[in-house]
Structure 1
């Protein structure tokens, strides 16, 4: 490889883009992999959010050699409880509980701070010799006979056999490729912040279904929790701009005082929520992964884990094709990836959409119906076991990395 050519370019250095790069380079060291990111170097260190890493994703990270450095700071989710109530209700009855283990000693998910996740992936990428180009947005790309030319930064260019877009839900590269999307706004925003509390959470996660949307409390290391608090967009925008007294009062009303006094740590931000599904995941020499392919409601906490499934499936598709001597950027090769991932993605998008519409309202007959359904699931251990394994991302048809196997 010379300085103007590589095999694979990944546009976007978020978690999914980095996981894709590491999975490819770990499994096929001879492939040249370059990551181009629009953000300046080091910006990722300012990410104060946290993510739920499902068991399948942690198996993949372990196989890639990243999980060992993450695990000491990862908080296992030992229990998950679901309630359904109004904001002012003095008691929130628990309708559904999940034991956090899918196997003895293996929780169905861990909570990991985003900066730690990114740091581990970047450290591994450096060791593998993955090339980074940061602070350089991609301006465009053109197809050639045996590759495509990607233009980035200050009129620089690089020729590759495949371009992977991992540049987020508002992907510019997706638009450049002419890929249309199915999209609608929910009129909701998710307020994200970290809260410190007096008493330990004991690894218990809670999801309170309130009329405006779910209020999720997710345990972090120490006496801290990550919140994903869904409100109507106008209310969310107002809340994040309020002074500490008003915000804390609204927070306490929803969080309660079972864990003692609360204190918000770091910034509080609101992110508009929508459903975005790409109509195609591929074009010749071009593939979408992560939020560039699908943006879903956070009600089930599966957004990042869907992206890790994309990374594992695309890496396996490319590596298998390369071993057979096939053109890794051909539409015939990439079609396997699209077939593998599109149905699962659409299914999860529809599921989260239905759940949000079912639970983000205060209609009395609908509340009675959904509470009956939750109670029914609570009394069926096998069905609960099925749901917890689905949430953990474990499936016989999952890519090898998600099963803890090498490609």
Structure 2
């Protein structure tokens, strides 16, 4: 719920954007001792998307005080399975990653988006984050603070802005931070399903010539499906009736979970990529899709955004006198550059290996996955790095 904005409102930190990454950033900033506000429009109606929270992301949600609130509605991801369904001359072997191989009960949990956001909003209010409903009409960095004027004319100043305002981030533009942007000849169709056989807590990603077809476990005999296709085919699939779409999903899943039924609305998203040239400038730090966007492969997107939020709060704790000072921004940029660049490059490369017809590239991909499958030490190292990177 929005609070009345005090006259001449001034904060240590203002987070713009109330998606999961923005909410976590605001909660952790407040826990770090900063007077914190959150500026965002009124909450929109919840959809039924889910988010795979992996490794350190679960720890971050626990630190924010929300994981216990969403655990009962979430499904554990105990095994991650990669299947080469390209039918090409050179194909990678089937690879399964088991959490038990690195001493974990699960790699993470598939969490309903609506439940997560609701829990985060409650936690933000309980932590003392000042919620301001609205949008930023102007964002003006100054020497000692950033001056934000909302659409209804209110003025807010803060020593540090957390820009969690999406891929078209006005805050990023106000900071003068450029981006590298690219596109893919793909769209993702996302929908929930029910099915007759158990998924056994296994997330299965079929690699096809047009992109991944992924089944991510939900509680019970339900799964979220992410089907990456050409834009025309994604729209065609989205236009099928429920029975026809379910039959198509059964075929693409090789009947792994038996007969399916569609359980909810379909959503289609064009795929693109974005990476900011730097991650902080002029008292503005980029969080989530303001900093990075890439295809839904390996469940890396929001997990990367939560790590942004955790580092954002850690830098605030390290610079309590002025969290937006130049040395604080330099520390944030330095600590996010490697992680973001590595994940963005890896996901982009894997996606492009699926789309290419070049045999050397297919061979390299196959050899890499074969090595992961057959060299236990390498496999364990890869799993640990994917789940708990150094922050």
Fold match (TM-score > 0.5): yes
Asked if the contact 1:190–1:273 (Cα under 8 Å) also holds between the matched residues in 2, the reply is: yes
Please show how residues 75-94 of structure 1 align to structure 2 within 5 Å: 75-86=75-86
Asked if the contact 2:245–2:262 (Cα under 8 Å) also holds between the matched residues in 1, the reply is: no
Alpha-carbon distance in structure 1 between the residues aligned to 2:325 and 2:360: 52
Q: CA deviation at 1:231?
A: 0.6
Please show how residues 2-401 of structure 1 align to structure 2 within 5 Å: 2-3=6-7, 4-28=9-33, 31-38=34-41, 40-41=42-43, 43=44, 45-86=45-86, 95-101=94-100, 104-134=103-133, 136-322=134-320, 325=321, 327-361=322-356, 366-392=361-387, 394-395=388-389, 397-398=390-391
Q: Deviations over 1:298-321 (max 9, x none)?
A: 212111111111111111001111
Residue 113 and residue 87 in structure 1: after superposition, are their counterparts in 2 closer, same or farther (change >3 A)? farther
Q: CA deviation at 1:284?
A: 1.6
TM-score (norm: length of structure 2): 0.92
Q: Which moved more, 1:217-226 or 1:359-368?
A: 359-368
Q: Deviations over 1:152-192 (max 9, x none)?
A: 12122211111111011222222233221001101111111
Aligned length: 385
Asked if the contact 2:92–2:370 (Cα under 8 Å) also holds between the matched residues in 1, the reply is: no
Asked if the contact 2:175–2:282 (Cα under 8 Å) also holds between the matched residues in 1, the reply is: no
Q: Deviations over 1:234-280 (max 9, x none)?
A: 22123213333443333222123232210111111111111100112
TM-score (norm: length of structure 1): 0.89
Per the alignment, in what secondary structure is the counterpart of residue 19 of structure 1? helix
Alpha-carbon distance in structure 1 between the residues aligned to 2:114 and 2:145: 34
Residue 238 and residue 176 in structure 1: after superposition, are their counterparts in 2 closer, same or farther (change >3 A)? farther
Asked if the contact 1:102–1:389 (Cα under 8 Å) also holds between the matched residues in 2, the reply is: no
Q: CA deviation at 1:12?
A: 0.3
Asked if the contact 1:97–1:378 (Cα under 8 Å) also holds between the matched residues in 2, the reply is: yes
Alpha-carbon distance in structure 1 between the residues aligned to 2:238 and 2:38: 34
Per the alignment, in what secondary structure is the counterpart of residue 299 of structure 1? coil
Residue 360 and residue 142 in structure 1: after superposition, are their counterparts in 2 closer, same or farther (change >3 A)? same
Asked if the contact 2:92–2:365 (Cα under 8 Å) also holds between the matched residues in 1, the reply is: no
Alpha-carbon distance in structure 1 between the residues aligned to 2:363 and 2:40: 48
Residue 128 and residue 373 in structure 1: after superposition, are their counterparts in 2 closer, same or farther (change >3 A)? closer
Alpha-carbon distance in structure 2 between the residues aligned to 1:367 and 1:316: 41
Q: CA deviation at 1:60?
A: 1.7
Alpha-carbon distance in structure 2 between the residues aligned to 1:64 and 1:386: 27
Residue 382 and residue 362 in structure 1: after superposition, are their counterparts in 2 closer, same or farther (change >3 A)? same
Residue 380 and residue 261 in structure 1: after superposition, are their counterparts in 2 closer, same or farther (change >3 A)? same
Mark the runs of 5 or more structure 1 residues left unpaired by the alignment.
Answer: 399-407
Residue 87 and residue 262 in structure 1: after superposition, are their counterparts in 2 closer, same or farther (change >3 A)? farther
Per the alignment, in what secondary structure is the counterpart of residue 94 of structure 2? strand
Asked if the contact 1:321–1:328 (Cα under 8 Å) also holds between the matched residues in 2, the reply is: yes
Per the alignment, in what secondary structure is the counterpart of residue 263 of structure 2? strand
Q: CA deviation at 1:147?
A: 1.6
Q: Which moved more, 1:7-16 or 1:96-105?
A: 96-105
Alpha-carbon distance in structure 2 between the residues aligned to 1:265 and 1:181: 37
Alpha-carbon distance in structure 2 between the residues aligned to 1:348 and 1:129: 33
Per the alignment, in what secondary structure is the counterpart of residue 242 of structure 1? coil
Residue 145 and residue 278 in structure 1: after superposition, are their counterparts in 2 closer, same or farther (change >3 A)? closer
Alpha-carbon distance in structure 2 between the residues aligned to 1:143 and 1:27: 23
